[in-house]
């Protein structure tokens, strides 16, 4: 006998959390005949599987019992020290290991931040459009979303100022480097201006940076944290630069925030996987992360160039798209008379999938927008699929 749960027995927060369209559509992508531009998936051909395997052997040989035991919630200290040193080397940021919490991907860090800061009814500001995973996570805490539009070089800072003057905003969530879903990168001017405005209003900034290493012009912009460290929480991840299956990310913040986040993490999962942390740290000690990232950049830049060429040569001029300078995505706006959902239905018949853009808005979605991922499709397959997709646009 199947006993059904009365909907009134579920907590109110459950009713407000949207299902992830991406996670649902990726179920379709398991069909090997499907060409998927949907997920933000790194290419498995670029995973350092052999080197990680060697690291696993060394870890089990030298410290198997220790790596398989419970450990501290904060994370493996040598790994946190490695992350801190990389920030010092790349951006001259004075960050200590005590300011870093290892998390299960940066997605868990978003969840922990919601638990620490958001009460029902609090104002939370997002880019428009914004990362679906953040929308989904923050919705659980029942905030009121405020949105600030993205321009070609970052958020509209005049609109940001106006919104903050109109209402008190507790958190601002952003992805300044090769934003998900648009691929937009904040200019240096926009970073400085945004930080100045946010500091004036004492708004807490969540700077999510899973894609910053994958820059095609080799110019790394300083993080917002550089200009507003006292109230900026910076998130990072090894998912896009090593492998997502490790489920390892991190949070950088002041010690008070890290202390609160550590308590929340203890209540959630006790700690991130010790074994994954030991294997990853051994990999980082025995291999050049910079060289590995250079290989990623070379491969993804070629894929990006192929997709830009397809958009330029196959698609109608009325289709607008971002010319991404890094990361994994481009963002399309279809001409009048088209919707991304209708295009998806037609594309599915051609064994092609992507993510309609309406999923990335907290309110008033633009139904003519869509996100394309270029990092996980081979170039000959990409060209053929992009040509088919272009023929489906009215």
User: Which residue in this structure is represented by tokens 């399309």?
Assistant: 332
In a domain, 170, yes or no: yes
- What is the value of pTM for the model shown? 0.94
- CATH of residue 95: 3.40.640.10
What pLDDT, in 10s, does the model give residues 314-345? 999 999 999 999 999 999 999 999 999 999 99
Place 24 in a pLDDT band, splitting at 50, 70 and 90.
Answer: low
Do 58 and 201 fall into the same domain? Answer: yes
| Domain final residue pick, 252, 286, 320 | 286
Instruction: Encode 258-289: b = buried (16+ Cβ within 10 Å), e = exposed.
Output: bebbbebbeeeeebbbbbbbbbbbbbbeebeb
Do 180 and 71 fall into the same domain? Answer: yes
What pLDDT, in 10s, does the model give residues 258-304? 999 999 999 999 999 999 999 999 999 999 999 999 999 999 999 99
What per-residue confidence (pLDDT) applies to 28? 67
Q: Which two tokens stand for residue 133?
A: 């995973």
| Domain final residue pick, 286, 307, 325 | 286
In a domain, 2, yes or no: no
What pLDDT, in 10s, does the model give residues 167-192? 999 999 999 999 999 999 999 999 99
Structural domain that includes position 125 = 49-286
- CATH of residue 376: 3.90.1150.10
Do 233 and 372 fall into the same domain? Answer: no
């Amino acid at each position: 006998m199947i006993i059904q749960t009365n909907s009134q027995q579920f907590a109110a927060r459950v009713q407000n959390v949207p299902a992830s369209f991406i996670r649902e559509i990726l179920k379709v992508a398991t069909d090997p005949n499907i060409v998927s531009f949907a997920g933000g998936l790194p290419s498995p051909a670029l995973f350092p599987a052999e080197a990680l395997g060697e690291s696993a052997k060394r870890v089990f040989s030298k410290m198997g019992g220790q790596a398989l035991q419970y450990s501290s919630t904060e994370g493996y200290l040598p790994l946190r020290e490695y992350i801190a040193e990389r920030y010092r080397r790349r951006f001259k940021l004075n960050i200590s290991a005590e300011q870093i919490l290892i998390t299960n991907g940066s997605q868990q860090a978003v969840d922990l931040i919601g638990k620490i800061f958001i009460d029902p009814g609090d104002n939370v500001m997002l880019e428009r459009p914004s990362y679906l995973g953040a929308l989904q996570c923050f919705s659980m805490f029942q905030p009121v979303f405020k949105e600030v539009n993205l321009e070609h070089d970052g958020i509209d800072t005049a609109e940001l100022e106006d919104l903050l003057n109109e209402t008190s905003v507790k958190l601002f969530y952003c992805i300044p480097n090769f934003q998900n879903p648009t691929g937009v990168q904040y200019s240096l001017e926009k970073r400085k201006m945004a930080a100045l405005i946010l500091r004036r209003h004492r708004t807490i900034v969540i700077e999510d940076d899973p894609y910053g290493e994958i820059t095609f012009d080799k110019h790394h912009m300083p993080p917002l944290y550089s200009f507003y460290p006292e109230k900026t929480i910076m998130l990072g991840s090894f998912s896009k630069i090593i492998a997502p299956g490790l489920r390892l990310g991190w949070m950088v913040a002041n010690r008070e925030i890290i202390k609160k986040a550590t308590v929340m993490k203890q209540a959630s999962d006790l700690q991130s996987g010790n074994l994954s942390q030991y294997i990853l740290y051994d990999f980082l000690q025995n291999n050049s992360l910079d060289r590995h990232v250079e290989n990623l950049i070379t491969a993804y830049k070629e894929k990006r160039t192929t997709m830009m060429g397809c958009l330029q040569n196959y698609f109608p001029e009325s289709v607008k798209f971002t010319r991404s300078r890094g990361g994994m995505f481009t963002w399309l706006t279809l001409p009048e008379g088209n919707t991304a959902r209708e295009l998806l239905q037609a594309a599915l018949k051609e064994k092609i999938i992507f993510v309609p853009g309406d999923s990335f808005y907290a309110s008033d979605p633009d139904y003519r927008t869509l996100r394309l991922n270029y990092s996980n499709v081979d170039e000959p397959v990409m060209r053929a699929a992009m040509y088919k997709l272009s023929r489906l646009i009215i």
